[in-house]
Amino acid sequence: MNEDRPELKKGTTTVAMVCKDGIVMATEMRATMGTLIAHKRTNKLFKIDEHIGMTVAGLVGDAQVLARYLSAEVKLYRIKNSRPITVNGASTLMANILNGRSYYPYWVQLIVAGVDDRGPHVFSLDAAGGSIEDDYVTTGSGSPYVYGVLEDHYKKGMSIKEGADLAVRAISMAMKRDSASGDGLNLATIDKKSGFKRFSDEDVEKIKKRILQ
């Protein structure tokens, strides 16, 4: 996640994937300004509602503003309609917000993911407002390394536990090779029973020790 704006450089690694019983989302935590490591505990994984999360890559300010926008709009939808918005609806709403700034766009690449009555969903959103659903998506400068892991190990129908292990493995591999990614790992799951659950640093370390030895 870069804090400068001369061109769209996404110095970040994020991932989200569909599992049979929910969603897994993960990011690393490094923010860079060119070659400078500006922050080492940057949140790039946001809880939007009990059933929806969002990961961000790109400009820090734009990402934080968009997370606040979407969270507020999703909560208003729940109040006005007495039901939660669908994941597709939240993704479309964010896509419209992004497209509305086409002259001076938000410098971000986002993942909106969650679970609704139609099941688990992952959407990739670009700065122009494009929204594409997929089984798994990774963004940022570390994404080629993550895709390498996912193409080899992701399987449809895997459990959330298996997905969490795979997300930790993939982000960890990216942090070893991408200099703009590092300084810790944020992990969260979403399912129908528990909603949005963020893992503690201790829980993430336990997973890393179990799967990376």
Residues noted as catalytic:
12
**Could you tell me if residue 31 is left (phi over 0), alpha (psi between -120 and 50 degrees) or otherwise beta?**
beta
CA distance 122 to 125: 10
Contact yes or no for 141/9 (Cβ under 8 A): yes
Give DSSP secondary structure letters for 197-209: EEPPHHHHHHHHH
What strand order describes the sheet that includes 119-125? 45-49, 52-58, 108-116, 119-125, 131-133
Minimal CA–CA distance to 63: which of 115, 166, 139?
139
Six token digits for residue 24: 């897994």
Single-letter amino acid code for the residue at 148: G
